[in-house]
Amino acid sequence: MIPYVTDTPDIAIPANLLPRDGRFGSGPSKVRPEAVAALADAANTYLGTSHRQKTVKSVVGSLREGLSQLFSLPDGYEVALGNGGTTCFWDAATFGLIERKSQHLNFGEFSSKFATAAADAPHLDQPEVIASEVGTHPVPVAREDVDLYALTHNETSTGVMMPIARPDGAVLPADGGGLVAVDATSGAGGLRVDPEQFDAYYFAPQKSFASDGGLWFALLSPAAQDRIAAITATRRWVPASMDLTIALDNSKLNQTYNTPALATIFLMENQVAWFNDNGGMEFSAGRCDASSETLYTWADNSDFATPFVTRVQDRSRVVGTIDFDDSIDAATVAAILRANGIVDTEPYRKLGRNQLRIAMFPAVDPEDVASLCACINYVVGAIAP
């Protein structure tokens, strides 16, 4: 093995400054210990039992109902789920949600990936891609030949959030206009959204829903369901595991087409119930408001840290990116934090900036974000000349 040389200074952060929970990763992210304890309690009768029987189906049903409640879904909307996480949902959408041509807003690593999937699909026209500088977001433009507008609620790689709204002047899907499909993998549950503004709002359990990865969820408007059925009727070839008609039919029965991870479903149901029992979206998004207010106020007042995202309204309330002064090496700060049990504050590697990225999903205690800021101050004070 090549010897690994580390120059991480040996700095112990005083215990009274440390957060109660040191997990600030942007995905997988903090899972609440209470949910894990509930899973352990239910383990003997739930884990290792059939997903086609009532025990599991009732948890899936409760999760689907809980999501409807959390997002105040209008009548006719459906909660669909399937295996494979958001990345597989992109592929499924490429088969079963885009009719011919999509428009993609590209403002970071994740938002660019769905555009690539659509561009590579031989049965689709080349998509329109509207890009903007990292740290900003583009705006969708209504077009007659676009049948799906692909938006991203929160670009996890850069810490930019954008409001979810149909493009200005766009014809509604009911009148033949394009669908609005939103990648809300990191935004859902932590950012407010109006369901009238989307047709497919999709996400995975490992971010605001404080569970593990591997599943996708999609909140589908009647227009999106009609689109799925219409594409199936054209007999376009679709692999069964990517078929949204099959996924939707199974979802309505509180099942998945093939076997899902039962622990993941349990932890997510527990998190959604925790949101709803405490006030729903105002509670969950409110925690993100509080955490992000603390983080950005600290960075604004710091003489070595600055929020990366310039426009205040674009600064994500779920994933904060904080640039460091050249005199402070953010990677060293992240390494010292890690050695003290505060993990996953490293920046998104492909962004390549001297910054920390801090998840503030609803499971993260706002007080722990305040503690984290104090710990960063302590570490910088200890390493700065």
Ligand X SMILES: *Cc1c(COP(=O)(O)O)cnc(C)c1O
Using rule CB under 6 A, residue 208 touches ligand X:
no
Positions 276 through 315 that interact with ligand X (CB under 6 A): none
Q: Which of the stretches 182-190, 266-274, 284-292, 354-362 binds ligand X when contact is defined by CB under 6 A?
A: 182-190
Cα→Cα distances 266→60, 272, 276, 343, 374, Å: 8, 10, 15, 25, 34
Task: Find out whether 223 and 76 touch, Cβ atoms under 8 Å.
Answer: no
Residue of 22, 25, 82, 85 interacting with ligand X (CB under 6 A): 85
CB of 138 to ligand X, least distance (A): 15
Task: Find out whether 102 and 94 touch, Cβ atoms under 8 Å.
Answer: no
Is the Cβ of residue 98 or residue 204 nearer to ligand X in the bound state? 204
Residue of 183, 243, 323, 368 interacting with ligand X (CB under 6 A): 183
- HSE of 229 in the Cβ direction (CA atoms, 13 Å)? 8
**Token pair for residue 1?**
């093995």
Is the Cβ of residue 19 or residue 108 nearer to ligand X in the bound state? 108
Using rule CB under 6 A, residue 25 touches ligand X:
no
Using rule CB under 6 A, residue 204 touches ligand X:
yes
- Enumerate residues 6+ apart whose C-beta is below 8 A from 8: 332, 335, 336, 339
Residue of 62, 69, 83, 87 interacting with ligand X (CB under 6 A): 87
How many Å apart are CA 47 and CA 261, to the nearest integer?
A: 9
Is the Cβ of residue 22 or residue 213 nearer to ligand X in the bound state? 213
CB of 108 to ligand X, least distance (A): 8
Task: Find out whether 96 and 235 touch, Cβ atoms under 8 Å.
Answer: no
- Residues in contact with ligand X, counted by CB under 6 A, come to a total of 12
Residue of 106, 112, 185, 270 interacting with ligand X (CB under 6 A): 185
Using rule CB under 6 A, residue 320 touches ligand X:
no
Name the nearest CA neighbour of 61 among 210, 200, 265: 265
Q: Which of the stretches 82-90, 227-235, 282-290, 339-347 binds ligand X when contact is defined by CB under 6 A?
A: 82-90
Sign of CA dihedral 214, 261, 270, 195: positive
Residue of 110, 201, 324, 361 interacting with ligand X (CB under 6 A): 110
Q: Which of the stretches 55-63, 85-93, 133-141, 166-174 binds ligand X when contact is defined by CB under 6 A?
A: 85-93
Using rule CB under 6 A, residue 152 touches ligand X:
yes
CB of 362 to ligand X, least distance (A): 15
How many Å apart are CA 181 and CA 383, to the nearest integer?
A: 46
Percentages helix, strand, coil for the chain, rounded to the nearest 5?
Answer: 40, 15, 45
CB of 104 to ligand X, least distance (A): 13
* Beta-bridge partners for 181: 150, 200
Q: Which of the stretches 16-24, 54-62, 137-145, 183-191 binds ligand X when contact is defined by CB under 6 A?
A: 183-191
Q: What does 296-347 look like in DSSP terms, one character per residue?
A: HHHHHH-SSEEES--SGGGB-SSEEEEEE-TTS-HHHHHHHHHHTT-B--PP
- For tokens 């949204």, what's the residue? 244
Residue of 19, 22, 25, 27 interacting with ligand X (CB under 6 A): 27
Is the Cβ of residue 157 or residue 250 nearer to ligand X in the bound state? 157
Using rule CB under 6 A, residue 86 touches ligand X:
yes
Residues at the contact surface with ligand X, assessed by CB under 6 A = 27, 85-87, 110, 152, 156, 183, 185-186, 204, 213
